């Protein structure tokens, strides 16, 4: 498991101290044990949640409800341009006009 912790930390760009590495290794071991237990439970023939609820009806109909007019929504926007919302950049390297 220590190799998995090192790889995970490197991929996540984390700098972990020795105690942090050990703690993360123990936590990952507990998570994997839990996942194994879930897999064993599913393999034992227990009814899956999706199958158990398949016969239940929906709580409400899935229909469109009232919506804001575009102009009303844009009035509440902190930033807008040419009829569109302006939002902060999420990924580095994107063009401003995209």
Instruction: Write down all domains in the chain, each with its CATH number in brackets.
Output: 2-43 (1.10.20)
**pTM for this structure?**
0.40
From 19, 15, 21, 17, select the one nearest 3 (Cα to Cα). Answer: 21
- Does residue 97 carry a pLDDT above 60? no
Q: Look at residue 36 and give its three-state secondary structure.
A: helix
Q: Look at residue 25 and give its three-state secondary structure.
A: helix
- Per the structure block, which two tokens stand in for 9? 């930390």
CA–CA separation, 19 vs 21, rounded Å? 5
CA–CA separation, 11 vs 17, rounded Å? 16
Read off the pLDDT of residues 18-72 as tens digits, 9 standing for 90 and up: 999 999 999 999 998 999 888 887 666 555 666 666 666 667 778 899 999 999 9
Tell me, what's the pLDDT at 39?
83
Most confident of 1-5, 29-33, 51-55, 91-95: 29-33
Helix, strand, coil % in the chain, rounded to nearest 5: 45, 5, 50
Read off the pLDDT of residues 71-86 as tens digits, 9 standing for 90 and up: 999 998 999 999 999 9
Q: Look at residue 32 and give its three-state secondary structure.
A: helix
């Amino acid at each position: 498991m220590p190799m998995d912790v090192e790889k995970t930390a490197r991929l996540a760009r984390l700098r972990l101290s020795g105690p942090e590495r050990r703690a993360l290794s123990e936590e990952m071991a507990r998570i994997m044990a839990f996942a194994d237990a879930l897999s064993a439970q599913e393999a034992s023939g227990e009814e899956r949640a999706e199958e158990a609820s398949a016969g239940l009806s929906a709580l409400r109909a899935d229909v469109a409800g009232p919506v804001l007019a575009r102009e009303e929504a844009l009035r509440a926007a902190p930033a807008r341009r040419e009829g569109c919302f302006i939002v902060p950049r999420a990924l580095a390297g994107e063009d401003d006009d995209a």
